[in-house]
């Protein structure tokens, strides 16, 4: 018997071909041979979910979500059984379990179901037999016995929740980047990989735009004090460990978010909009510009606020956000605004709190602003005589 | 409420594309609109099972049958959900159920499981809500909660067994031929479609080589007095109804079977071989040639008899069989042998019983013999002055 369970999650590109599935199997075996019990969560092979979705849309642009869940859940059934066969071929005992076989209970909300509980009996029984257990990510079973899927980031949710219910030592999320970066490396080439990050900072990174981990996963991990390791399945690097740790005291990263809408108006109207958002469970941020108060919502949610918007005098702008994650202060933000102004970049509003600072600006300035801000806060890790250093 | 349940089974080519699935949906709706409750059993889209099998074989030439069943069963999950969506798009309430959701219990023999029972609660509950119920063919769930598949002809077995358990009025098997023929029409172009055929004659047709229905399906149907209608999903014709009926008194059809091996020897050795076949549950036919007794087994089973064969003096020949299904008599068989001899075709042995006559001959003569015999027995339906009619 082994003394600790490791849950490893592999996304669609990691299991996108027979060759890649073999590479995954070797990774899994390495962990097993270190003396761990291993539970593997897999997504569908890359392209498969899309192929099935296209078939469904040939039938109906809006097919029944109950039937779409039946259709899409076939995808993980393919990848998980192929991985089990590969492990067996390499001489290891393995068994694959669908969502319903693994006891993953969800609510009845098809296409975006929430896990309401996991009966881990079947998994534990297989682990006790010494088997590597492969579980279909993204899917579960409702109380009425229907197949359900979890929506965006579903396989991560399966992995982290499963790790929590199994009392796993660690949940490893294998993805196509090799860790959590100080900023999106596609925008800021100087972004650096973090070795560790605290739960609260990671929650803020996810909330303000970092896509590497989904917010509910990190929240669940924090609640259960469950370390998550983000790794690349294509690289031998150590990745980033997300765990309970004290904040560094400074800025740990810069998160970017696109496709936001800023609505500015008088205080009374803004209060109405916030109330409306809360009622509809929409994400909303209160922001302050020089002369007005406002709210920021996602572009897709804007339509749901139209009733209030039509009744009141409001001003709406397309915006993006650059957010400092970790502690900063108002005086440094003011110095930063002055620095950005040298490049004609205007921070149109901001939201400031003890642990993060969100700055809104016009979409066309996002990339440039992100690089300047990252350079100041993360590369130098302080804001001293910023204008002197900005020579280049 | 409707007063009768019809089970309709559609094979892989019938659901091979979105267009064909739509044609199936229209067929199903027609039946529903005649006032029946409809349960539809579907195979995987044609090509899909093969695609999945190829993936498995890239991993392992002999993958674990438990995992292969998980993999292959994904195929029906795709076709059944697409059919449900199509029916919904056409305005009809429909729900798809996997093997485990439909309560199809099997033994643990993966890849060739047998249905040991069906809990029809879930299906009946949906039928009572007025829904068209679509069930995945070919698959079930074992007592230990594993996904199983039924092997060759699996979807037909699902349909017929389900019809039995539901007390259906009729089980309709939609396939790529438009009914049961008096002989294989690819060999005998004069073969004609039968409007009806009795259970016992159909059992014999299947046993002696007709492939349109699988033997266990027909046996189950006979035991439960369940009419089976064989229809084409590409033709509006009525097909063939297989039901309880008195035999016509003559020959109703000619069944052809290839890839057989005839073993001749002394009576003692033949008794040993028959005992060996019975012990291993292999299909075996006793035959008589002019001077020796023998047995006929399928080519694939021959290897399992090698121990006996090596110990004894035996003679082995490749053979095929042409079988008259229905009543014939020895004198007409003798006349037939004389007629075939005119074309230099020798019947090397035969097995004669009250309800069918199996004639063995060298494989190269099968097609020609089948045409001559069909012409005599089915086209003319008697054997009077056969040599006179054979002028051409």
Query: What was the pLDDT predicted at B303?
Result: 87
Chain A residues with beta carbon closer than 8 angstroms to that of B59? 18, 21, 82, 85-86, 89
* Tokens matching residue B207: 């046993």
Catalogue the long-range contacts made by A48-56 (C-beta closer than 8 Å, 24 or more residues apart): A48/A12, A48/A75, A48/A78, A48/A79, A49/A12, A49/A75, A52/B78, A55/B18, A55/B78, A55/B82, A56/B81, A56/B82, A56/B85
Q: Distance, in angstroms, between B36 CA and closest chain A CA?
A: 23
What are the C-alpha distances in Å from B350 to residues A349, B204, B288? 96, 16, 5
* Residue B49 DSSP code: H
Q: What is the pLDDT of residues A24-65, one digit of tens each?
A: 999 999 999 999 999 999 999 999 999 999 999 999 999 999
Instruction: Inform me whether the C-beta atom of residue A357 falls under 8 Å from chain B C-beta atoms.
Output: no
**A144 close to A200: Cβ distance less than 8 angstroms:** no
Nearest CB neighbour to A82, from listed B56, B145, B147? B56
DSSP annotation string for B96-153? EE-TTTTTEEE-S-TTS--EEEE-THHHHHHHHTT-EEEEETTEEEETTS-EEE--TT
Beta strands B251-265 and B293-298 are antiparallel
Q: What is the pLDDT of residues B266-298, one digit of tens each?
A: 999 999 999 999 999 899 999 988 778 899 999
Q: What is the pLDDT of residues B26-51, one digit of tens each?
A: 999 999 999 999 999 999 999 999 99
* Residue B210 DSSP code: -
Instruction: Inform me whether the C-beta atom of residue A78 falls under 8 Å from chain B C-beta atoms.
Output: yes
Query: What was the pLDDT predicted at B387?
Result: 35
Regarding predicted confidence, which is higher, A244 or A3? Answer: A244
pLDDT class of A380 with cuts at 50, 70, 90: low
Q: Distance, in angstroms, between A300 CA and closest chain B CA?
A: 27
Longest CA–CA span in chain A (Å) reads 69
Q: Distance, in angstroms, between A216 CA and closest chain B CA?
A: 29
Catalogue the long-range contacts made by A152-157 (C-beta closer than 8 Å, 24 or more residues apart): A152/A112, A152/A214, A153/A214, A153/A216, A153/A217, A155/A9, A155/A11, A155/A41, A155/A42, A155/A43, A155/A76, A156/A9, A156/A213, A156/A214, A156/A217, A157/A115, A157/A214, A157/A216, A157/A217, A157/A220
Chain A residues with beta carbon closer than 8 angstroms to that of B82? 55-56, 59, 71
Q: Name all domains of chain B by residue range, CATH numbers in brackets.
A: 5-176 (3.40.1160.10), 251-389 (3.30.2130.10)
A383 has a pLDDT exceeding 50: no
Q: What is the pLDDT of residues A127-158, one digit of tens each?
A: 999 999 999 999 999 999 999 999 778 999 99
Rounded Cα–Cα distance for residues A315 and A309 (Å): 9
Query: What was the pLDDT predicted at B380?
Result: 63
Q: What is the pLDDT of residues A259-290, one digit of tens each?
A: 999 999 999 999 999 999 999 989 999 998 87
**Mutation test of the interface with chain B: which of A19, A25, A52, A70, choosing the one with the most B Cβ atoms within 10 A?**
A70
| Contact (CB<8Å) A71/B77 | yes
* Tokens matching residue B159: 């349909």
Regarding predicted confidence, which is higher, A329 or B147? Answer: B147
Instruction: Inform me whether the C-beta atom of residue A196 falls under 8 Å from chain B C-beta atoms.
Output: no
| Contact (CB<8Å) B84/A78 | no
Query: What was the pLDDT predicted at B90?
Result: 98
Chain B residues with beta carbon closer than 8 angstroms to that of A89? 59-60, 63
Instruction: Inform me whether the C-beta atom of residue B73 falls under 8 Å from chain A C-beta atoms.
Output: yes
Instruction: Inform me whether the C-beta atom of residue A185 falls under 8 Å from chain B C-beta atoms.
Output: no
Q: Which of residues 106-145 of A touch B (CB under 8 A)?
A: 122, 145
Instruction: Inform me whether the C-beta atom of residue B15 falls under 8 Å from chain A C-beta atoms.
Output: no
* Residue B45 DSSP code: P
Pick the closest to residue A167 from A112, A224, A207 (CA basis): A224
Rounded Cα–Cα distance for residues A173 and A253 (Å): 20
Instruction: Inform me whether the C-beta atom of residue B85 falls under 8 Å from chain A C-beta atoms.
Output: yes
Nearest CB neighbour to B67, from listed A60, A64, A84? A84
Cα nearest neighbour of A20 on chain B: B59
Number of CB pairs < 8 Å for A and B?
105
A384 has a pLDDT exceeding 50: no
Query: What was the pLDDT predicted at A3?
Result: 66
Pick the closest to residue B295 from B264, B260, B257, B256 (CA basis): B264
Query: What was the pLDDT predicted at B109?
Result: 94
Query: What was the pLDDT predicted at A310?
Result: 84
The 3-state secondary structure of A111-128, one letter per residue: CCCCEEEECCHHHHHHHH
**Dihedrals phi, psi of A187, to nearest 5 degrees:** -100, -45
What percent of chain A has a predicted confidence (pLDDT) above 70?
96
Cα nearest neighbour of B51 on chain A: A78
* Tokens matching residue A55: 């078939």
**Mutation test of the interface with chain B: which of A58, A80, A85, A111, choosing the one with the most B Cβ atoms within 10 A?**
A85
| Contact (CB<8Å) A78/B52 | yes
Cα nearest neighbour of A68 on chain B: B81
Cα nearest neighbour of A69 on chain B: B81
Nearest CB neighbour to A82, from listed B55, B88, B147? B55
Residues of chain B with pLDDT under 50: 1-2, 382-392
A355 has a pLDDT exceeding 80: yes
ipTM over cut 0.90: no
| Contact (CB<8Å) B63/A85 | yes
């Amino acid at each position: 018997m082994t003394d600790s369970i490791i849950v490893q999650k592999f996304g669609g590109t990691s299991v996108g071909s027979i060759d890649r599935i073999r590479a995954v199997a070797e990774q899994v075996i390495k962990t097993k041979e270190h003396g761990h019990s291993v539970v593997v969560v897999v997504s569908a092979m890359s392209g498969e979910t899309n192929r099935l979705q296209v078939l469904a849309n040939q039938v109906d642009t809006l097919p029944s979500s109950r039937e779409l869940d039946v259709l899409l859940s076939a995808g993980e059934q393919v990848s998980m059984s192929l991985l089990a066969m590969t492990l067996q071929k390499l001489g290891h005992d393995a068994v694959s379990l669908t969502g319903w076989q693994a006891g993953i209970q969800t609510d009845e909300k098809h296409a975006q179901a929430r896990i309401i509980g996991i009966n881990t009996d079947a998994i534990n029984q297989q682990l006790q037999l010494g088997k590597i257990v492969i579980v279909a990510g993204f899917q579960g079973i409702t109380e009425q016995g229907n197949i359900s899927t979890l929506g965006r980031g579903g396989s991560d949710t399966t992995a982290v929740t499963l790790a929590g219910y199994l009392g796993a030592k660690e949940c490893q999320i294998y993805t196509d980047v090799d860790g959590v970066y100080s900023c999106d490396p596609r925008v800021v080439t100087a972004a650096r990989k973090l070795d560790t990050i605290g739960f609260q900072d990671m929650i803020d990174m996810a909330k303000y735009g970092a896509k590497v981990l989904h917010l509910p996963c990190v929240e669940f991990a924090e609640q259960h004090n469950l370390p998550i390791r983000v790794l690349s399945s294509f690289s031998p690097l150590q990745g980033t460990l997300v765990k309970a740790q004290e904040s560094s005291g400074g800025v740990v990263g810069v998160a970017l978010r696109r496709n936001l809408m800023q609505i500015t108006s008088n205080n009374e109207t803004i209060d109405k909009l916030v109330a409306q958002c809360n009622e509809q469970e929409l994400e909303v941020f209160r922001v302050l510009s020089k002369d007005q108060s406002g709210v920021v919502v996602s572009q897709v949610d804007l339509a749901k606020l139209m009733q209030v918007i039509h009744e009141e005098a409001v001003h709406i702008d397309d915006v993006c956000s650059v957010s400092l994650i970790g502690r900063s202060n108002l005086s440094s933000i003011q110095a930063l605004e002055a620095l950005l102004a040298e490049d004609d970049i205007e921070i149109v509003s901001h939201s400031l709190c003890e642990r993060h600072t969100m700055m809104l600006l016009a979409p066309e300035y996002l990339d440039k602003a992100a690089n300047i801000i990252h350079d100041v806060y993360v590369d130098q890790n302080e804001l001293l005589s910023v204008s002197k250093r900005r020579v280049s």
